[in-house]
Amino acid sequence: MKKSNELHKRIPLLATVSPVTIWLILLVAAPLIYVFFLSFLSTDGYNVVYRFTLSNYTELLNPTYLEIYSNSFILALFTTLACILFGYPFAYSMARAAKKKKTIMMLLLMVPFWTNSLIRLNGWKTLLGKTGALNSLLLHLGLIDQPLEILYTRGAVILGMVYILFPYMVLPLFASIDKLDMSLLEASNDLGANKVKTFLYLTFPLTAPGIFSGTILVFIPSLGYFFVSDIMGGAKTQLIGNLIENQFKAANNWPLGAAFSMLLIAIIIIMVTVYKKAGGDMKDLGVL
């Protein structure tokens, strides 16, 4: 009788938790386990061979790939710094704006999400191409003698990354700045600190969790957004994401592609662990 009552008490809990658990197992855990398993298999050049090997992981240390890792990290670093540089003032203004203005700024930030990112990036191509609007305007004004090479450069890839990932930096920053206790800033001013000192010794440290959250949300996708490199950089700049795509499509080497995927997952786990150890809130990353 007692067991029957306990079972009846647990039924509502199981009814709400079980669908989520099944969903996570099917769509998250199972694919990850499959990719992990695949990374230890071989290939005969056309098909996956079910023979255990560590050669895919030793191949990750190939000097050619090490150069691509280096390029990926440099590009992700510049993208993240640019997002912080432009995102912090925007987030600060939005957090301190009146309610109506804050709604408009949030709407402007989110509206681009209503259009596919591939379409938006191709829009930049029409603006920055040799015969695009920018070069045409500069030629018409007599500021340049010949069209500038803007597209298909590393700068164009960083521009595309910043454009796509900018909201992912602003939103955690906005959440952090919006929670800032304004009485502390007023107390700082009353004690004689100017705006620069107040920002450096009070505002910036208190909003550092938002910067760290935004850094993770921007830095990690920057390593893998191969379509930005393809469209804005003409596939001249290779990223870790390009390596994964090439192995699964052109090279038909799924085990090596799976090994590259596990490398990217390992980078994500390391960064999130560091974030958590530093006192970061996992809710800001959308994990919980």
Instruction: Supply the CATH classification number for the domain 60-285.
Output: 1.10.3720.10
pTM: 0.84
pLDDT at 17: 65
pLDDT at 126: 87
Domain parsing of the chain, residue ranges: 1-52, 60-285
Under the banding of pLDDT at 50, 70 and 90, the label for residue 9 is low
Model confidence at 271: pLDDT above 60? yes
Under the banding of pLDDT at 50, 70 and 90, the label for residue 85 is very high
Range name among 26-30, 237-241, 281-285 with the lowest pLDDT average: 281-285
Range name among 122-126, 189-193, 251-255 with the lowest pLDDT average: 189-193
Render pLDDT for 15-65 as a digit per residue (tens, 0 to 9): 666 777 888 888 889 999 999 999 999 988 788 899 999 999 999 999 989
157 vs 11, higher pLDDT: 157
**Cβ–Cβ under 8 Å, residues 245 and 226:** yes
pLDDT at 6: 66
What value does the mean pLDDT take over residues 72-94? 95
Render pLDDT for 132-188 as a digit per residue (tens, 0 to 9): 889 999 999 988 888 888 889 999 999 999 999 999 999 999 999 998 888 888 888
Model confidence at 280: pLDDT above 90? no
